[in-house]
Amino acid sequence: CESCFELGILTEKELKSFARTFSQCLAEGDVIILSGEIGSGKTTFVRGLVTGLGCSEEIVTSPTFTLMNVYACSKTVYHLDAYRLNGIEDVFYVLEGEIEDRNGVFVIEWGNLIDSYFIEDVITVFFEHEDEKHRKVRLRVPSKRVSRFRRCLNFG
């Protein structure tokens, strides 16, 4: 895959550290889909990401009842969990205006369930259980954004 990055098998600390670095590569309006089973590290990744944007990781909670959490960091972070949404209509309802305004970054746990909603290119992070303490992490970015991420993540 031309626009994929193998981040390797990461500990929790390494995953958060990667998410911090990754946060520096983001531009307003970016949509990041987090794909992986229960406990694979999606919320953990969001914790790292917000610290990279100057927030404390404690502000991150699972958007279980709220549908969407909004964190006012150096960029506004919209944190959703598509598992709780009833499909595409809820996405429209919850965040249509915000996505169109491109005023912040959008991080969507279980976003693979609703990726047909997004016409524009999205960034996807894939998480897989390796063992209790390790997750295999891969990143796929839109092809027209590869050079931005390669430079920013110091890849190749």
**Cβ distance 80 to 113 under 8 Å?**
no
147 touches, from ligand ATP, Mg ion, none (C-beta below 5 to 8 Å by class): none
Task: Please give the structure tokens belonging to residue 97.
Answer: 């205006």
Of 70 and 146, which has the nearer Cβ to ligand ATP? Answer: 70
| Under 8 Å between Cβ of 109 and 32 | no
**Residue 1 binds ligand ATP, judged by CB under 6 A:** no
CA distance linking residue 66 with residue 155, whole number of Å:
37
Member of 16, 22, 34, 42 binding Mg ion (CB under 5 A): 42
Report if residue 135 touches ligand ATP, rule: CB under 6 A: yes
Build a one-symbol-per-residue string for 45-84: x at contacts with ligand ATP by CB under 6 A, - elsewhere. -----------------x----------------------
Instruction: Give the angle subtended at the CA of 4 by the CAs of 51 and 54, to the nearest 5°.
Output: 10
Residue 129 sits at the vertex; the CA angle it makes with 126 and 131, to the nearest 5 degrees, is 150
- If the CB atoms of residues 102 and 129 are measured against ligand ATP, the closer one turns out to be 129
Sketch the per residue contact string, 63 through 82, with Mg ion: x for CB under 5 A, - otherwise. Answer: --------------------
Which letter does DSSP use for residue 60 in this model? Answer: -
Is 113 an interacting residue with respect to ligand ATP (CB under 6 A)? no
